[in-house]
Structures are given as C-alpha cells and as structure tokens.
A = this chain, B = another copy of it.
Amino acid sequence: MTNTNEISIRQLEIIEVSGKILIEKGIKGLTTKTVASEMNFSESAIYRHFKSKEEILVALLSLLKQNMNKRLTAQIKPQNSATENFKAVFTSQFNYFKNNPHFVVAVLSDGLIDESKEIKAIILQLMQNKIQLLAQILEQGKQSNEFTTEISTEDLLPIILGTFRFQMLKWKLSGFQYDISIEGNKIIENLLLLIQKK
C-alpha cells in the first residue's frame, strides 16, 4: 500500500479474486472473509493492501476503465471503414471478457451502483466512455454512407449498448458455458445488418 496509483502484484491478485467472487456470488458474497479465504490468508492481511473494502471495488473498476479505454481506442483506425471499426471494437470486447470472465461485473454492474457514490461515478464514466467511442464510429459510418441515417446516433446507441449488455447477461446466466467471442460476433453481424444502409 505504498503508492496510491501503482497497483502491486498482491493488490492485483486481490482485485482478480474479488471479481471472481463478485461474478460467482454477487455483491452479497463479496466479504472480507471470502476474499481472504480465496487468497489463502487472513482477513486482516487484506488491510495491508487496501484501506477498505470499498477501495478494492474502486480499484477494480478503475483498472477496468483504464484497460478498456486504452484497448478500445486502439481498435479504432481512421483508415478503416466504420463497419470494420465497429467489428474491431466488439471483437476486442468479447475476446477480453472471454479471457477475463470475472470482469464482466463491470458490464453488469447495476448491483454495484448502489454501493457508494464513488463507485457509481466510476461506473457511469465507464458507460460514458463506451458511448463516446461508439458514437464516433456511428458518425463515421453515417458520413461514409455505410450506416442508416434514418435513426439519430443518439437513438442508435442504446440499441447497440443494450444488445451488448444483454448478451453479456445471457452469458453470465449460462455460467459462461459457451464461447462468447463466437456468439458475440454473431450478434454483432446481426446488428450491422440492421444498421447498414440498404
């Protein structure tokens, strides 16, 4: 707990374990006891690495926000078509969650939102970031005549984001039993079919 911004190896372990518990047992299941037990050490040891339980959640979500922003921004290339950019962003998302299923909490974080003001703020930022990114691609697609101009970008966003979130919820409810990168890409193709200019 030396530096506030840098995350130590142990902190990262705790964050990952917390995400895992969160996805498996929900907020109610995430206690100092369950985290400690999963880490194979005592409850008090947690406080060597985090000031409070809330800080773990904040770190988890902040880390994700950072990762996701960096990762998704890198997918968008002006020289590529909007369709390609659209696909690249979602493919990256699905691949990421396929490899880090316990971080799906960040998408399905409705439950977390009532935890604290700070947590709510980060979650809203996370959503906002994704909205901005997506809006950019949609605008590009409209200008390049790839996407329909019948529906405003603002109105298109909730359709796309909602579909994505629902897909993730389905995956979680299935117990992560199928390959989300395959199923996810199918849905993306369908979404594209709908929003592409006929």
A 168-198 contacts with B by CB, 8 A = 169-170, 173, 186-187, 190-191, 193-195, 198
Would you call A1 an interface residue if the criterion is a C-beta within 8 Å of the partner chain's C-beta atoms? no
CB pair B173–A163 under 8 Å, yes or no, is no
What interface size band does chain A fall in?
35 or more
CB pair B165–A124 under 8 Å, yes or no, is no
Cα A25 to Cα B115 with chains together (Å)? 9
Of A26-34, A83-91, A137-145, which binds chain B?
A26-34
Nearest CB of B to A126, in Å: 13
- Per-residue CB proximity of A89-115 to B under 8 Å, as 1/0? 000000000000000000010110111
User: Which of B28, B148, B150, B162 contacts A163, CB < 8 Å?
Assistant: B162
Query: Nearest 4 A-B pairs (CB), nearest first?
Result: A26-B114, A162-B166, A111-B111, A162-B162
